[in-house]
A and B are shown apart, each in its own frame.
Chain A
Amino acid sequence: MNVRVLLTRPWIWGFAAAALVWVAILAISGQGGGQTVSLALSLAPYLVVVGLGQMLVITAGPGNIDVSVASVISLAGFVSVAAAASTGSVVLGVGAGVAAGIAVAAVSTVAILGLSVPPIIATLASGLVASSATLSLAGGFTAVPDPGLRELLNLRPAGVPLFAVAVAAVTAAVVAVLRRTVYGRSLIAVGQNRRAAERAGIPVRRVIAATYLASGALAGLTGSLLATYIAPTADLGTRYLLDSVAVVVIGGTLISGGRAVPTGVWGAALFFILLDGLVNLVGWSTAAQNLLKGGLVLLVLFLAGGGARTPGTSLPSLRRRRRPAAADTTTPGETTDG
């Protein structure tokens, strides 16, 4: 794969940006390049896991988004720590966290498919349900996270966090699901053109339900592990709402659906974590950080929409939905025939 081919891969930009920020950190602080990477690698996986779920949802097509992830992370944190403390089993604890995520996603799914509520509203509502559950759990919460799991999450043989390796494996699994399973292909088809997918015999509603449940489960998993890694708090997941959407978009996944780029989520997550480090180093406030991130997302969307001239690399997010595009695309098409 030569450089030119590499540049057409949508996931490359997240990694490139991450490398750029890393160099900037190195230049400013003048020390500990390896340490910075190691730290980023231990924080980024949490964002990657929730980002992968968000990516699946966004891939399901225009309008699909899961804004309940932040509340799910916070809720799952409490649920899993409580379950682990009361049963004494870490596995059960994490399982309970995942189950909490699935339960919240089930509420969204029923609202989206059963009541035809737009996904952003449905997940907002189920997110509210989740955060009120979190608040009632948080009052007088005394359980502490399992020290064994925390140690495992902190394990860094040769500076490489074990957890990052595990999440890399999860990412590879998501890639395989999207490429090799009927569900994955169906999801991508639904995201490109829901009507066409329905006419092609794909059970669209089942695919969409499975996708939201998967996103809920992954957010639940993130919450469980994050609560063990840091501590269960009511605003544990807050920053993950914007960030999960942002890493998906920056990673090269089409915001209008139909193309998922799991590898890109990694690049973008590393970029975001490093960016946090850089901004802290420079001494910016959280507000300024968020401003920067929001601007970056807009910039990427602008580039994706405006820079879609070259075929192959094109991100036809905007073009696809216009009718005249149909006439446009048939014109060169006619010629391949003549």
Chain B
Amino acid sequence: MHLDNIPPREARRRGPDGAPVVTASGVTKTYGRTRALTGVDLEVRAGEVLGLVGHNGAGKSTLMRVLAGLESCDEGRVTVRGRHAAPGAAAFRGVRMAYQETSLCPDLTVAENIWLSSRHCLPRLRRRRAAGAAARRRLDEMFPGHGVSPRDRVEDLTLARRQMVEIARASLVDALDLLILDEPTESLGPDAARSLYDHVRSLTARGVAVLLISHRIGEVLSVADRVAVLRDGAVIAERPAAGLGEHDVLTLMGAQVAERDAHRPAPSAGLPADRPVVAELRGATGSGLRDVSVRVGAGEVVGLAGLAGQGQQDVLERLWRPARRDAKVRATRAYVPGDRQRSGVLPLWSVAENLVVTAMRGIARRGLRRPAEEREVVRSWVERLAIRGGADAAMTELSGGNQQKVIVARAFASSADLVLLDDPFRGVDVHTKTGLYRLIREEAARGRSVVWYSSENAEMAHCDRVYVLRAGRVVAELSGDEISEERIIAVSFAEPDPPTAAGRAQGAPGRERPQEARNHG
């Protein structure tokens, strides 16, 4: 079951002869007044990877839930292997879904989670061990070097590892017909993404159908056999992936392909001397960092790049709570979390209340809020970022992209001089992202500083300077024209010694180590 066994991609292509696994015809779905699906016809065939793309709000999530038999449709029908199936029917047992915002129980261990969802295909006797073994086997198969132990509590895992467990959980079933992957690589590093897609190919070689939903168009195009474009609740195009360019897909989705370099600042070498330093780390060491020095000037956008989990978030943490002496932060700060369900959304509040909670402190006089001023701030930001639903909508009614807009607005609406971004644009559609990039540049032009960690290297093009981290060290500082995706990837991977287990153990301190050591050693 390894790379060698998989036939080359062209030979693998079956075209339309693969038998349809799940078929949706004329499916509509309405929530309240909004029509999520307006008549979807889609067929997922055995042995193919079908890529599904569309903006946030195009109806992807709803369609997936209908195809997985979790939700009924208002009109139309869903058939599984040619037979009409009602939601929850046994026919859907072979259809499994890995959610973007994982569906694992945070208080249970990995093995217990696996047991919960795959118990019908695991032995009842010594179930803990069976589930643990199954989890470990599948994780080893999908993500070699994953560093997850079946006994780990899900809550203690990093986002990337939770995602791995989620995907492994979804694929653990005796007869898998269709595997639905919802933004599977958003939290994964490039290595894990690659091994996931290798596994996906081995699944399709065995005749399993895979439905891949992703905002990363390039990835979809390289993995999928066919691409379906969803727009306003209907499939508006279905094309073979071969010969389709990223630009074509974006155009089909209705995006105006943004010029990335429009707001690109003039190249500058290092931190310009005339800029006052608002925040600084000097030789920060410990808790995931080794001798990291970072300077942030006023009005500067500083990027933190590199592979996921190399200490970027620890840098942000130090700047957010400068407790030690090696961190000097003179500016007031605001934070935009990346894990929005866990550390962003205040679920009982409206958009307005969520948006203004940080700014409120600055607006208030002697501890008393000033509602009129707050409303003005909310109004201007809802307008500026075009937040759908408006100020009075409940936060949980918004789509992920719009929730993220609110959380970004929350930070920028405050009077903070330094805004820390913790990979906030994961799973956000191209349109929204482009708007938010512009916002960041505009705010920087007004003298605000931004420190921005992103797992998407292309985003770093919007920064003035970029620190590339690897294993808790700064391995490169790029500025101006030096900042390019290729360059960042080159420095993130380049290393004096090859990344052998021993070399990494030496070079990587911090929290990643103990678990890996436990699993491999």
Interface of A is mostly: helix
Asked if A311 meets B349 with Cβ closer than 8 Å, knowing A196-B344, A200-B358, the reply is no
Neighbour of B62 across the interface among A199, A316, A323, A335, CB < 8 A? A335
Contact A336 B368 (CB under 8 A): no
Neighbour of A199 across the interface among B71, B106, B344, B393, CB < 8 A? B344
B187 at the interface (CB under 8 A from A): no
Q: How far is the CA of A316 from the CA of B394 in the complex (A)?
A: 13
Asked if A182 meets B367 with Cβ closer than 8 Å, knowing A193-B343, A196-B346, the reply is yes
Chain B residue contacts of A335, Cβ below 8 A: 31, 34-36, 57, 59, 62, 399
Chain A residue contacts of B397, Cβ below 8 A: 311, 329, 332-333, 336
B103 at the interface (CB under 8 A from A): yes
B313 at the interface (CB under 8 A from A): no
Smallest CB separation, B318 vs chain A (Å) = 15
Q: How far is the CA of A214 from the CA of B353 in the complex (A)?
A: 24
Chain B residue contacts of A313, Cβ below 8 A: none
Asked if A329 meets B62 with Cβ closer than 8 Å, knowing A196-B345, A199-B335, A200-B410, the reply is no
Q: How far is the CA of A316 from the CA of B333 in the complex (A)?
A: 32
Contact A333 B399 (CB under 8 A): yes
Q: How far is the CA of A324 from the CA of B35 in the complex (A)?
A: 23
Contact B367 A329 (CB under 8 A): no
Q: How far is the CA of A189 from the CA of B410 in the complex (A)?
A: 13
A290 at the interface (CB under 8 A from B): no
Chain A residue contacts of B334, Cβ below 8 A: 201
Contact A181 B369 (CB under 8 A): yes
Neighbour of B341 across the interface among A180, A316, A326, CB < 8 A? A326
Smallest CB separation, A113 vs chain B (Å) = 16
Neighbour of A202 across the interface among B62, B344, B357, B400, CB < 8 A? B357
Contact B346 A189 (CB under 8 A): yes
Smallest CB separation, B35 vs chain A (Å) = 7
Contact A338 B34 (CB under 8 A): yes
Q: How far is the CA of A106 from the CA of B59 in the complex (A)?
A: 52
Q: Which residue of A lies closest to B427 (CB)?
A: A330
Smallest CB separation, B367 vs chain A (Å) = 5
Contact with B along A303-338 (1 / 0, CB 8 A): 000000001000010001011101101111111111
Chain A residue contacts of B106, Cβ below 8 A: 323
B403 at the interface (CB under 8 A from A): yes
Contact A182 B389 (CB under 8 A): no
Q: How far is the CA of A334 from the CA of B55 in the complex (A)?
A: 10
Tell me the A175-209 residues at the B interface (CB within 8 Å). 180-183, 185, 188-189, 192-193, 195-202
Smallest CB separation, B453 vs chain A (Å) = 14
A258 at the interface (CB under 8 A from B): yes
Contact A311 B394 (CB under 8 A): yes
Chain A residue contacts of B99, Cβ below 8 A: 324, 327
Contact with A along B43-59 (1 / 0, CB 8 A): 00000000000011111
Chain B residue contacts of A337, Cβ below 8 A: 55-57, 388-389, 398-399, 401-402
Q: How far is the CA of A335 from the CA of B344 in the complex (A)?
A: 21
Q: How far is the CA of A18 from the CA of B410 in the complex (A)?
A: 42
Tell me the B395-415 residues at the A interface (CB within 8 Å). 396-403, 410, 414
Contact B346 A336 (CB under 8 A): no
Contact A331 B62 (CB under 8 A): yes
Q: How far is the CA of A323 from the CA of B103 in the complex (A)?
A: 6
Asked if A189 meets B36 with Cβ closer than 8 Å, knowing A181-B369, A337-B401, the reply is no
Asked if A323 meets B398 with Cβ closer than 8 Å, knowing A182-B369, A334-B57, the reply is no
Chain A residue contacts of B361, Cβ below 8 A: 182, 201-202
Contact A331 B367 (CB under 8 A): no
Contact with B along A248-277 (1 / 0, CB 8 A): 000000100011000000000000000000
Chain A residue contacts of B347, Cβ below 8 A: 192-193, 258, 316, 320, 329
Neighbour of B333 across the interface among A201, A259, A320, CB < 8 A? A201
Q: How far is the CA of A324 from the CA of B396 in the complex (A)?
A: 13
Chain A residue contacts of B371, Cβ below 8 A: 180
Q: How far is the CA of A326 from the CA of B100 in the complex (A)?
A: 10
Q: How far is the CA of A192 from the CA of B333 in the complex (A)?
A: 22
Interface hub of B65, B99, B104, B396 (most chain A Cβ within 10 A): B396
Q: How far is the CA of A199 from the CA of B344 in the complex (A)?
A: 7
Smallest CB separation, A238 vs chain B (Å) = 34
Contact B342 A195 (CB under 8 A): yes
Chain B residue contacts of A326, Cβ below 8 A: 101, 341
Contact with B along A19-47 (1 / 0, CB 8 A): 00000000000000000000000000000
Contact A334 B399 (CB under 8 A): yes
Q: How far is the CA of A39 from the CA of B371 in the complex (A)?
A: 40
Smallest CB separation, A203 vs chain B (Å) = 9
Q: Which residue of A lies closest to B230 (CB)?
A: A338
Q: How far is the CA of A188 from the CA of B32 in the complex (A)?
A: 29
Neighbour of A327 across the interface among B103, B403, B410, CB < 8 A? B103
B458 at the interface (CB under 8 A from A): no
Chain A residue contacts of B414, Cβ below 8 A: 201
Neighbour of A185 across the interface among B105, B357, B402, CB < 8 A? B357
Contact A185 B369 (CB under 8 A): yes
Tell me the B268-286 residues at the A interface (CB within 8 Å). none
Q: Which residue of A lies closest to B349 (CB)?
A: A192
B41 at the interface (CB under 8 A from A): no
Q: How far is the CA of A202 from the CA of B102 in the complex (A)?
A: 27
Chain A residue contacts of B399, Cβ below 8 A: 330, 333-337
Neighbour of A334 across the interface among B56, B102, B344, B369, CB < 8 A? B56
Q: How far is the CA of A316 from the CA of B349 in the complex (A)?
A: 12
Q: How far is the CA of A332 from the CA of B103 in the complex (A)?
A: 17
B456 at the interface (CB under 8 A from A): no
B306 at the interface (CB under 8 A from A): no
Chain A residue contacts of B32, Cβ below 8 A: 332
Smallest CB separation, A197 vs chain B (Å) = 7
Chain B residue contacts of A196, Cβ below 8 A: 337, 342-346
Chain B residue contacts of A202, Cβ below 8 A: 357-358, 361
Chain A residue contacts of B326, Cβ below 8 A: none
Q: Which residue of A lies closest to B103 (CB)?
A: A324
Chain A residue contacts of B62, Cβ below 8 A: 331, 334-335
B372 at the interface (CB under 8 A from A): no
Contact B343 A199 (CB under 8 A): yes
Chain B residue contacts of A201, Cβ below 8 A: 333-335, 358, 361, 414, 416
Smallest CB separation, A189 vs chain B (Å) = 5
Chain B residue contacts of A331, Cβ below 8 A: 36, 61-62, 65, 71
B360 at the interface (CB under 8 A from A): yes
Smallest CB separation, A331 vs chain B (Å) = 5
B502 at the interface (CB under 8 A from A): no
Q: How far is the CA of A188 from the CA of B346 in the complex (A)?
A: 9
Q: What are 17 pairs between A and B in contact, CB < 8 Å?
A: A181-B364, A181-B367, A196-B337, A196-B346, A200-B335, A200-B357, A201-B416, A258-B347, A326-B341, A330-B61, A330-B399, A331-B62, A331-B65, A336-B388, A337-B55, A338-B36, A338-B233
Q: B-contacting residues of A (Cβ < 8 Å)?
A: 180-183, 185, 188-189, 192-193, 195-202, 254, 258-259, 311, 316, 320, 322-324, 326-327, 329-338
For the complex of A and B, list the 9 residue pairs with the smallest distance between their C-beta atoms, beginning with the closest: A337-B57, A335-B36, A338-B57, A195-B343, A335-B34, A337-B399, A326-B341, A329-B396, A326-B101
- 7 further A-B contacts with Cβ under 8 Å, apart from A188-B348, A193-B346, are A193-B343, A201-B414, A311-B394, A316-B347, A331-B62, A333-B398, A337-B398
